Chain A
Amino acid sequence: MTLILNRFVPSALLLLLGVGLTACGVKNKPAPASHDSPVSATGTAKDPVLPSEAVTSPSNAPLKPIGITTGAPGLATSISSNPYIEATLGSTIPSAATWTKARWIEKAAKALRNGHGLGQGDNLPALLALPESKIVEHFMADPRFIDTVLDFGMFFLGQKSDSIRDSLGSFDGEVFSGRAAITAAREVQKNGDFLKLLQLQQPVYLSSTSAPFAGADEQELTPAQLREKRFAMLNQRIANLRALLSGQQTPDPKAFCDSFNGENGILQIVTNMGLPISVSLPLLLSGDGISSLVLKCTFGVPIEVDEKALLETFASYTVSLRSLAENLIPERYSPKALDALQILDGAVVGVPTAQSKHDILGFWSRLTNSSTNFNRKRAEHMLNRYFCDDLKPITVLAPVDHTQGKHATDSGCQSCHYKLDPMAGFFKNIGILGTNFNGLSTMQFDDNAQQPMAEYVKAWANPENAPRAWNVGYIRSSTHESLNEYGESIEDLYAIIERAPEVKQCLVRRMFEHFISKDQVIDPGYLEWLANTFVEQSKFNSSMAFKATLATLVTSRTFKETNPKSTTCYDMQPGVDPANRPPCAVAFLLQKNCASCHTGVGAAGGLDLAGWTRDAKGIETFPHKTLEGTQRDANESFKRVLDRLTSTNPMLRMPLNMQMSAQDTAELYKWLNTKLDSTGAAQ
């Protein structure tokens, strides 16, 4: 393995990109906006008019009197006439029910209008008179709801930023890295397929244009003049290159590279034009990775390039760029609505129109493939974001033939690596900055190390007599291969993502975290009920399913709770009797995975995992009897359950001869440790 020169490749690339990305929102972008409302930006902040006859308070019972003598009556009249508070102010004190509902409306407005609570354009009295479902519909019809969907999509992908719009109301540059989130939001806007959020291939959306970057001696030039000047410079560079390549001898590599990425080189000229970064990126990319030219010229990778072919590509690209620029001048293209975003026609600039959702500025440069991590960083991200698997290190049963002398095959390491490594294998061909090295002889890592491809891919190679060539897949079980889903490529991974039930459940869990709280415990049964409902509704229309799930969450008790306790479940799936049930954080998991043996009086081992009682010290615990019929201490019970849950002995490991999902196991594991911690018996 050869370690060469620059170990700061991503930084170097970002610096390179930063030369003049004035138009992409990465540099010199407007200050982030705190109000990202397209409505206010366009001066149409008025909400749809609600029926005037509905302006009645649902209740007139007064709250506790204020007890202060009323002052100037004229003022009170004036205040009462303000539509914002007229339902709750005036000569009477608002009722408790009115206040409670108004409080929920305020919170729902913020949740569904991307942070915009009740304001001066809202007719609160009319809203108060509507049932909750209508209020939710009303807020979902607000144009700002689409920003909410976009914001959630960014959150799901792990790309949420503070504000999705800049101070001018245009979309922030970082939004354009979340192509899948944009697609999903646009789909919801037209009641299309929200689940395109999970697809790999996405259109490239064009961000706003800005004026070309002007040098110190160019301040007098208009944007149009500046752009003309840049095109003239670009043509000049191409002419120079043509001259350089026309000689009989092989051109000086440095001179060639300087024409590309040197001072006033082609790359700098293009990125200084103020065009969307997605227009400039094709210069850096080639198909699904970074171009060989960048590897050679920027990072000094000794790689063969066909200079003459590249020259013609540049010439063709320049013509295309001119055509794009003429249609994307700033005055014409500064979209403030998602449906106004233009999509890059890849054919024009020589790249595929539909591209991987993983882009060079985010996924590939942040989640690097190094000569030591072998794509595991990418695997961790995928398991976390799409499968809600945070890789809690819980020991697993070792497969029969598991060692083969590979890295991380120790039983402790296998706690994570049994599923992490196969997931990393989906990215096995992807090296530096997302470049696909499939078919090449050498893998170039992001840490600039190299390794012969044949040696590198052995990390995922199965033995010759194995049923499949690669140990690459989404692994649910270390012992039951039939439960796992295998593949080889990123496309295979996304096919799994689109059909795996864990992903839909994860999506719904993220909705709960985003719209309610990430720290609030959720009853797994309620989550499964929500997810199942979502899946069923998605079969007809996934956008409607998303809205229905969101409506359920916004009208849930958890959402309404004034000051929720983080360890209390306020919502459960229908039909569940919580009496004498174990704590809600695990009751459903125990019911699903353990109760078939551990229920009631004759429960295996005297342990009833469907019940809940107190031990002799008064500590709440499972009913767990000794042979003599006395209740065991809570600590002992919790520890025994934990030991059985994590045992590496298949005869002791619970659930016996059954498969418990990694997510369920992790939830139960965390809960048991919390219980042990709370009684000072943590291991």
Chain B
Amino acid sequence: MRQQHFFFVLPLAFAAAFLSLVACDQKPSSSEQPAQTEAREFMSETVSRPTQAPSPQASENPALLNAAAESAAAVTFSSRPSESAESETANSAATSEDAPRELSETTESNTLVSADDPLMSEYKGYQDINKILKVRAFVPGADPFELYRYLGAAGVSLSALLGQWNGFGVQSSFLNGKPNTINLILWHLALSGFAQDLARVCPDATEKPTFKTDSLNPLLLKSLQTLCSWPDASAKNADNLMALWMSLMGFDAPYEEFLAWQEFLHSPEMGQTPAAQALPDAITAIFLNPHFLLKN
């Protein structure tokens, strides 16, 4: 039984990894000029604040503002090799002479995976993710939610492998935060388990969810119930997909991540997938997004 489960998990894990790669290939669109304008205005307001330490003259620098706007609006997901691996000089708030390099760096800093960054980001950790899910998915005062329940009988112990602060007394440090094969699988197990549980709100589900349906965030519940008719067109309503995304991801990810996820849902493969499978897959894809799971 355990082995069967394992074989089930691995393809999903690879599928999730593949999804991330697909998302990484999303290129910014040239149709984003208005957004860049708005972002430029916003950045102009922001960088010129007196409390903003770096480079007060930045707001007078059109090239910089353009770069900032690019960064704010046209997020690129390509993980291209850096042309400026040595250019750590850089400061986003640069003078005009530095602006071209700034543009490159700022754009690069928005890549989903910085191939040239010597450091790997850590998971947010079990407690943080659990807290995020509790706040977003459930109404205040709902029954205690613990993600470790989806890890089976040893869930409490295994949750320690998902990133936790430990070191009784005076030598505390964040342990198990670096992604590895074990904690990736554990995260997948826990989050896909929760995703499957959420999908059980559908009337056709063979099992009942482990939580009380009325304890769910009403926005999330309504979007889930609408998705129960997948792959009908009504389930693919853009507002509804946004509602599902927002109620689980919030604003953790850039907007383009939502577009990539939506594109995945409208792929031909997903169009043929029944709701019982499509719904958990859609939710799991949100949960496994690096912006959801990882620290900076």
Interface set of A (CB-CB < 8 Å, partner B): 31-36, 40, 43, 45, 58-59, 61-64, 66, 68-72, 75-76, 78-80, 82, 84-85, 88-90, 94-97, 99-103, 105-106, 115-121, 132-133, 154-155, 157-163, 167, 174, 177, 361-363, 365-367, 381, 385, 516-517, 519-521, 523, 526, 529-530, 551-552, 555-557, 560-574, 576-579, 581-585, 587, 612, 619-620
Contacts and interface: CB of A to CB of B under 8 A. Distances in A.
Interface string B163-177: 011111111100000
B240 A71 contact: yes
16 contacts: A33-B144, A64-B255, A71-B238, A75-B222, A79-B223, A85-B242, A90-B239, A95-B35, A99-B255, A162-B165, A519-B119, A555-B52, A560-B46, A565-B109, A565-B114, A569-B90
Given A71-B234, A89-B242, A579-B97, A162 B91 contact: no
A203 to B, nearest CB: 19
Given A72-B240, A79-B239, A117-B250, 11 more contacts: A31-B146, A68-B262, A78-B222, A79-B242, A95-B38, A96-B35, A100-B72, A158-B172, A568-B92, A578-B95, A583-B88
B252 A106 contact: yes
A255 B243 CA distance: 71
A68 B112 CA distance: 25
Minimum-distance CB pairs A-B, first 9: A71-B237, A362-B169, A96-B35, A34-B130, A96-B73, A97-B42, A366-B169, A61-B38, A76-B239
Contacts of A530: 53
A526 B53 contact: yes
Which residue, A33, A64, A160, has most C-beta atoms of chain B within 10 A? Answer: A64
Given A79-B239, A568-B109, A585 B72 contact: no
Interface size classification for chain B: 35 or more
B42 A578 contact: no
Contacts of B254: 99, 103, 562
Given A43-B141, A97-B39, A100-B72, A579 B239 contact: no
Given A61-B34, A579-B95, A79 B219 contact: yes
Interface of B: 29, 31-32, 34-39, 41-42, 46-47, 49, 51-56, 71-73, 75, 86-95, 97-98, 105, 108-112, 114, 116-119, 125-128, 130-132, 134-136, 139-141, 144-147, 156, 164-172, 217-219, 222-223, 226, 233-243, 246, 250-252, 254-256, 259, 262, 266, 295-296
Contacts of B256: 64
B217 A566 contact: no
A507 to B, nearest CB: 17
A119 B89 CA distance: 39
A366 B168 CA distance: 8
A572 B93 contact: yes
Contacts of A70: 237-239
A117 B135 contact: yes
A635 to B, nearest CB: 13
Nearest to B295: A517
A581 to B, nearest CB: 6
B117 A565 contact: yes
A579 B296 CA distance: 27
Contacts of A35: 131, 134-135
Contacts of B95: 577-579
Contacts of A115: 127-128, 131-132
Contact of B109 (A82, A564, A571): A564
A572 B55 contact: yes
Contacts of B42: 58-59, 96-97, 100-101
A624 B227 CA distance: 65
Contacts of A529: 53
A61 B37 contact: yes
Contacts of A33: 144
Nearest to B263: A67
A24 B246 CA distance: 40
A615 B36 CA distance: 37
Contacts of A99: 251, 254-255
A34 B131 contact: yes
Contacts of A85: 219, 242-243, 246
Contacts of A587: 89
A588 to B, nearest CB: 12
Which residue, A68, A174, A551, has most C-beta atoms of chain B within 10 A? Answer: A68
A366 B166 CA distance: 13
Given A99-B255, A119-B136, A562-B109, A567 B88 contact: yes
B169 A363 contact: yes
A102 B53 contact: no
Given A105-B251, A177-B169, A569-B91, A32 B139 contact: no
B232 to A, nearest CB: 9
A367 B170 contact: yes
B72 to A, nearest CB: 5
B156 to A, nearest CB: 8
Contacts of B97: 579
A103 B252 contact: yes
Contacts of B145: 34
A119 B246 CA distance: 11
A90 B239 CA distance: 7
A158 to B, nearest CB: 5
A563 B110 contact: yes
A181 B246 CA distance: 35
A621 B243 CA distance: 51
Contacts of B31: 64
Given A70-B239, A106-B250, A567 B41 contact: no
A122 to B, nearest CB: 10
B35 A89 contact: no
Nearest to B84: A620
Contact of B243 (A79, A581, A582): A79
Given A34-B127, A85-B219, A574-B53, A562 B75 contact: yes
A391 B68 CA distance: 39
A619 B156 CA distance: 50
Contacts of B239: 70-71, 75-76, 79-80, 89-90
B124 to A, nearest CB: 9
Contact of A121 (B128, B140, B169): B140
Nearest to A620: B86
A581 B234 contact: no
